[in-house]
Amino acid sequence: MKASQQLADNLQIVLTDLIELQLQGKQAHWNIVGPNFRDLHLQLDELVVATRQFADDTAERMRALHALPDGRSATIAKGTRLEEFPGGLVTTKNAVKLITDRVERAVQTMRDVHDEVDEEDPTTADLLHEFIARLEQFVWMINAEIMNAGAAVTDPDEA
């Protein structure tokens, strides 16, 4: 199968956000301070490793579909949907919020392109399903570092 331009473009958007998420995860990993430092430091490394693998899987899927992935830094900086991660030291509490927001944004990118990807190539959509499930698990685990036991776990507006 050869990818349409639309499929290639959708996968490039996913790839861009995954590469940026990997870089931001490392930035947070190096610069967090405060309570739960070690646990969060290690969790961020796990996120970086997984995200790096997801980016590689995406790029290799693109090549299998005769599309050309572009992981150059200028392409990533120009095309990412993720907000820039702040410089300097970041408290663990703030880092949790910043990283989970970015992971959720990367997941939203995958959801945004999912239907078009699935229509053309269900096999590639299956990859997106795997990435989404794992990234949402990271959000839960990372967010649990600062969550209190009395926190609402569902949206009260949806109850």
* 151-157 mean pLDDT: 60
Cα–Cα distance measured from residue 14 to residue 95, given in angstroms and rounded to the nearest whole number: 23
pLDDT tens digits, 42-98: 999 999 999 999 999 999 999 999 999 999 999 999 999 999 999 999 999 999 999
pLDDT band at 150 (very low <50, low <70, confident <90, very high): confident
The pLDDT of residue 99 is 98
CA–CA distance, 41 with 64 (Å, rounded to integer): 35
Reported pTM:
0.93
Buried b vs exposed e over 93-127: b needs ≥16 C-beta within 10 Å?
ebbbebbbebbebbbebbeebbeebeebbeebbeb
Instruction: Enumerate the H helices of the chain as residue ranges.
Output: 5-31, 37-64, 73-79, 92-120, 122-143
For residue 159, pLDDT over 50 is answered with no
- Rounded Cα gap, residues 41 and 4, in angstroms: 40
pLDDT of residue 138: 97
pLDDT over 90 percentage in the chain: 91
Cα 88 to Cα 74: distance, rounded to the nearest angstrom: 22
Residue 145: what pLDDT?
Answer: 87
Helix (H, G, I), strand (E, B) or coil at 90: strand
Mean pLDDT of the region 27-36? 96
23 — pLDDT class (breaks 50, 70, 90): very high
Residue 155's pLDDT band (cuts 50, 70, 90)? low
Other CB atoms within 10 A of residue 71 CB: 15
The Cα 84–Cα 78 span in angstroms is: 11
